Amino acid sequence: MGEQKTVVIGVTGGIAAYKALDLVSKLKKSNFNVHVIMTKSAAEFVNPLSFQSLSQNFVIKDMFEDPKTWDIEHISLAKKADVMIICPATVNIIGKVANGIADDMLSTTIMATKAPVIFAPAANSNMYLNAIVQDNINKLKGFGYKFIEPDSGRLACGDEGKGKLANIDVILENIKTTLYDLKDLKGKKVLVTAGPTISFIDPVRFITNKSSGKMGYAIAEEARDRGAHVTLISGPSNEVPPIGVDFLEIQTNSEMRDEVLKIYDSMDVVVKAAAVADYKIAEYSEEKIKKQNDELSIKLIKDVDILQELGKNKKTQILIGFAAESENLINNAKAKMEKKNLDYIVANNIKSSEIGFNSMENVVTIIKANGKEISLEKMTKRLVARELFNIVNDKKR
């Protein structure tokens, strides 16, 4: 790991305050130094001791409570912070900051810090959508403060609507994105393949697999945000093609192969996240197959291993493959890496009960050509993409 970054979390008084405990715990697991500042009303919702235990740092509650420390704490934490996150942020703290009020530890620290400040609002829907609150939010955005939109759903007060604290993993991702505003792929050409391929049986039928495309799309987005020129070649997927990426939709293995080979030589990094079919229908029927006997057999024949072909013709490209395994994860993945001449392989256990094909999250081990294994905890596919490029660019390990 590189240097340890400090995240200062401001917890304000809402029913969602307990969710900030999960955020602290996840940040600690990601090796951040975490300091928590609670407003007086936040401390009514959650015992500061819980934050103290999880963050392993003293929780700062109220500016005037402890005269020994208050005079320096808000300045020292403001200086120490690499990022501040207000989670949950009540309309009250948003209103205070928008109007320059600094009357407690949290608001003074926000005012004193030069680090980026992110608000994750949570409120009753009518309060959140109130024009004054929206005006305050827009004003703060204009000053460069970041906001993580609340979700819609059933709120603690029983109402339905917008105001639910955003998912903690989304908040975590935002913090990491803010901290590592990397442009380390600037000028690089990155090709990503994603989704399933399909093979047609007749004009109306085909075989395919369960790949959702989510992992590949997340990789394309991450590469784009890090400054790369990205081409995404995808089989059929319900995901929305990312903005600012050259996007091509294909259906079959051979269509994917053709498109990939057209640009392969000029690429710097190639990530093959697609679940490419290994077998195709031996004989395509031009006419719709009619119902006849009780049994119907369909013959399949081997199709091209695109990645293996890329490995054979590799020049200076960094070639990254995926290995979906249901047993012997590491050994099978390493064997694939060698056979296909890869620089990295991302291995995931498709039997893991925690994650599914359509899941937002993934649990993977990234293996380098030298055999080094980096096992990542369960995280969003976007964060997996982030870790992958961190490793490839050697930023962190």
Query: Which residues line the annotated binding site for CTP?
Result: 278, 288, 322, 336, 340
Query: Considering the rule CB under 6 A, would residue 303 count as an interface residue with ligand CTP?
Result: yes
What is the rounded CA–CA span in Å between residue 227 and residue 234?
Answer: 21
Pick from 106, 137, 245, 307: which binds ligand CTP (CB under 6 A)? 307
Query: Considering the rule CB under 6 A, would residue 276 count as an interface residue with ligand CTP?
Result: yes
Pick from 305, 352, 359, 365: which binds ligand CTP (CB under 6 A)? 305
CB of 133 to ligand CTP, least distance (A): 47
Q: Pick from 234, 246, 221: which is nearest to 383 by CA? A: 221
What is the rounded CA–CA span in Å between residue 122 and residue 166?
Answer: 8
Within 13 Å of residue 88, how many CA atoms lie on the same side as its CB? 28
CB of 302 to ligand CTP, least distance (A): 9
* CB closer to ligand CTP, 135 vs 338: 338
Which range touches ligand CTP (CB under 6 A), out of 13-21, 79-87, 166-174, 301-309? Answer: 301-309
Query: Considering the rule CB under 6 A, would residue 322 count as an interface residue with ligand CTP?
Result: yes
Query: Considering the rule CB under 6 A, would residue 274 count as an interface residue with ligand CTP?
Result: yes
* CB closer to ligand CTP, 180 vs 206: 206
Torsion of CA 23, 28, 31, 36, to 10 degrees: 80
In the chain, what is the greatest distance between 2 CA atoms, to the nearest angstrom?
A: 88
Which range touches ligand CTP (CB under 6 A), out of 26-34, 145-153, 285-293, 299-307? Answer: 299-307
Q: Looking at 49, 72, 129, 157, which residue is catalytic?
A: 157
Q: Binding site: what residues are annotated?
A: 278, 288, 322, 336, 340
Region of 349 (left: φ > 0; alpha: ψ -120 to 50; beta: rest) is: beta
* CB closer to ligand CTP, 223 vs 307: 307
By DSSP bridging, strand 229-234 and strand 189-194 are parallel
CB of 93 to ligand CTP, least distance (A): 46
Q: Which residues contact 75 (CB under 8 A, 6 or more apart)?
A: 112
Query: Considering the rule CB under 6 A, would residue 269 count as an interface residue with ligand CTP?
Result: no
Contact 396, 31 (CB under 8 A): no
* CB closer to ligand CTP, 56 vs 326: 326
Binders of ligand CTP in range 236-255 (CB under 6 A): 253
Using CA atoms, how far residue 215 sits from 60, 281, 319, 322, in Å, is: 39, 27, 16, 10
Using CA atoms, how far residue 188 sits from 89, 180, 215, in Å, is: 38, 18, 20
Residues in the chain: 397
CB of 342 to ligand CTP, least distance (A): 8
CB of 210 to ligand CTP, least distance (A): 12
Pick from 110, 118, 306, 392: which binds ligand CTP (CB under 6 A)? 306
Omega cis (within 30) before 88: yes
CB of 306 to ligand CTP, least distance (A): 3
CB of 14 to ligand CTP, least distance (A): 44
What is the rounded CA–CA span in Å between residue 166 and residue 151?
Answer: 5
Q: Pick from 158, 92, 168, 163: which is nearest to 122 by CA? A: 163
Q: Which residues contact 18 (CB under 8 A, 6 or more apart)?
A: 45, 46
Catalytic (active site) residue 87: no
Query: Considering the rule CB under 6 A, would residue 198 count as an interface residue with ligand CTP?
Result: no
* CB closer to ligand CTP, 11 vs 260: 260
Query: Considering the rule CB under 6 A, would residue 230 count as an interface residue with ligand CTP?
Result: no
DSSP-assigned letters across all residues of 80-149: H-SEEEEEEEPHHHHHHHHTT---SHHHHHHHH--S-EEEEE---HHHHH-HHHHHHHHHHHHTT-EE-P
Binders of ligand CTP in range 332-351 (CB under 6 A): 336
Query: Considering the rule CB under 6 A, would residue 323 count as an interface residue with ligand CTP?
Result: yes
Which range touches ligand CTP (CB under 6 A), out of 59-67, 78-86, 102-110, 321-329? Answer: 321-329
Query: Considering the rule CB under 6 A, would residue 278 count as an interface residue with ligand CTP?
Result: yes
Query: Which amino acids are annotated catalytic?
Result: 157
- Binding site residues, ligand CTP, CB under 6 A: 253, 272, 274, 276, 278, 303, 305-307, 321-324, 336
